[in-house]
Amino acid sequence: MKQSAYISILLFASLLFFPLGLLADVQLPSIISDNMVLQQNAKVRVWGKARPGEKITLKSSWERKKHKVTASEGGRWEVFMQTPSAVANQTLTLKGDNEIIIRNILVGEVWLCSGQSNMEFPVAKNPATKWKTGMLNEAEEMKDADYPQIRLFHVEHQLSAGVEAEDCKGECWYAHPKT
């Protein structure tokens, strides 16, 4: 009986303190990830969350300067970094209680496209849909679609009740036959 009570108390205590460990790591929104694109010749914002008071250092492969910031009482932090002219295959390293390395960053022109459903028409034809999606010769086009300098941040569909979200589910892709 004593052993089961001890295990129950230990389990309860670990559940109480488990969420605190989740807040200790530097966290980034999904748009700041491998394969992302940053606007060239601009001051770009890099932001995230961390443990309140956590010191974070950011170092990019295109700058000699290290950026240092401390997370606010709410755990938020942000840094503005100057980007160079167009360049590929860059990295960004963030160090706090943990370390994050963002790879294959492209610095260039950023275009935002959003809205209509035809923005997401696939290249391949889909006989299950009533829409005439796809393109002629899609197999030939997809076979040759290896353009690592063309990137896409794909956002998962989510319904919103008018509440502004801090982040979204998504990932950065580059143009490749598999994507």
**CA-to-CA distance for 153 and 36, rounded, in angstroms?**
8
Q: Please name each of the domains of the chain with its CATH number.
A: 24-109 (2.60.40.10)
Output helix, strand, coil percentages for the chain, rounded to the nearest 5.
Answer: 15, 35, 45
Provide the pLDDT confidence category of residue 14 given band limits of 50, 70 and 90. Answer: low
pLDDT at 85 (0 to 100): 98
Q: Which two tokens stand for residue 24?
A: 């200790």
* Cβ-based burial of 121 (10 A; exposed 0-12, middle 13-18, buried ≥19): middle
Please say if the pLDDT value at position 175 is more than 90.
Answer: no
- The encoded tokens of residue 133 equal 């999606």
Say whether 30 sits in a helix, a strand or coil: coil
Question: What would the DSSP string read from start to end of 88-155?
Answer: EEEEEEEESSSEEEEEEEEEE-------SGGGG--SS--TTSSS--S-TTHHHHHHT--EEEEEEEEE
Q: How far apart are CA 76 and CA 57, in angstroms?
A: 14
Across the range 11-15, mean pLDDT stands at 53
pLDDT of residue 64 exceeding 60, the answer is: yes
Residue 149: per-residue pLDDT: 82
The arithmetic mean of pLDDT across residues 106-110, rounded, is 94
Lowest mean pLDDT among 9-13, 18-22, 89-93, 120-124: 18-22
Average pLDDT value for the chain: 82
User: At residue 93, does pLDDT exceed 50?
Assistant: yes
**Per-residue pLDDT at 84:** 98
pLDDT category, 18, cuts 50, 70, 90?
A: very low
pTM of the model: 0.74
pLDDT tier for residue 15 given thresholds of 50, 70 and 90: low
Q: What is the mean pLDDT of residues 24-31?
A: 89
Give, as one character, the DSSP assignment of residue 27: B
Asked if 178 and 152 count as a contact pair (C-beta separation under 8 A), the reply is no
